[in-house]
Amino acid sequence: MMTWVKKITDIAIQQKCPKCEKASMFKSFWSLETNEQCPHCGFKLAEHDSGDGPAVFLSFILGFSIVPLILVIAMKTDWPLWLHTIIWSPIILGLSIGLLKPSKAVTIALQYWNRSSDWEDKKEE
C-alpha cells in the first residue's frame, strides 16, 4: 500500500501525469508549462490550471522553515548583515526556483486526486 507521503514525494520528484503516472506532466525539463494533454493517456492536463497555488505553498513552506533558521543563526553568530545577505539570498532564490516545478506537480496531482470529478466533468463537455 502506497502512503500519501510516498505518493506526494514520487509525484514531486518524477513529475508524471497524475492519472497514468507514465509520461511527464511538463513540456520540457526546464519548462514550468504543463502539456496540453498527457502524451501517454491523453489526460487533459491544461484544463485545470494550478494558478498561484504552487508559489503560495512554496512561500509558506520555505518561509516557515528558513526564516527561523536564519534568525537562530543570526542570534548565535555576530555576522554582519551583508554576510547574511550574501549567504541566504542565493540559497532562498535557488530553493524557490528549484522547488517550483515539484510544487506545481504536487498541486496538480492533489487537485486530480481530491477532485477528480471536476476533471471528468470537463472531459464530457
Q: Which residues are at the interface with Zn ion (CB under 5 A)?
A: 17, 19-20, 38, 40-41, 43
| Site of grid cell 486526486 | 113
Nearer to Zn ion, 19 or 104 (CB): 19
Least Cβ distance, residue 85 to Zn ion (angstroms): 43
Least distance (Å) from Zn ion to the CB of residue 36?
A: 12
- Residue 58 vs 106, nearer CB to Zn ion: 106
Least distance in angstroms from the C-beta of 22 to Zn ion: 6
C-beta closer to Zn ion: residue 40 or 48: 40
Phi-psi category of residue 23: left, alpha or beta, with phi > 0 → left and psi -120 to 50 → alpha: beta
Q: How many CA atoms lie within 13 A of 114 on its CB side?
A: 8
> How many Å apart are CA 86 and CA 103, to the nearest integer?
26
Report in angstroms the alpha-carbon separations of 39 from 22, 24, 28, 81: 9, 8, 12, 49
DSSP conformation class of 103: H
- Distance of closest approach, residue 40 Cβ to Zn ion, in angstroms: 5
Measured from the CB atom, the residue of 60 and 123 that comes closer to Zn ion is: 123
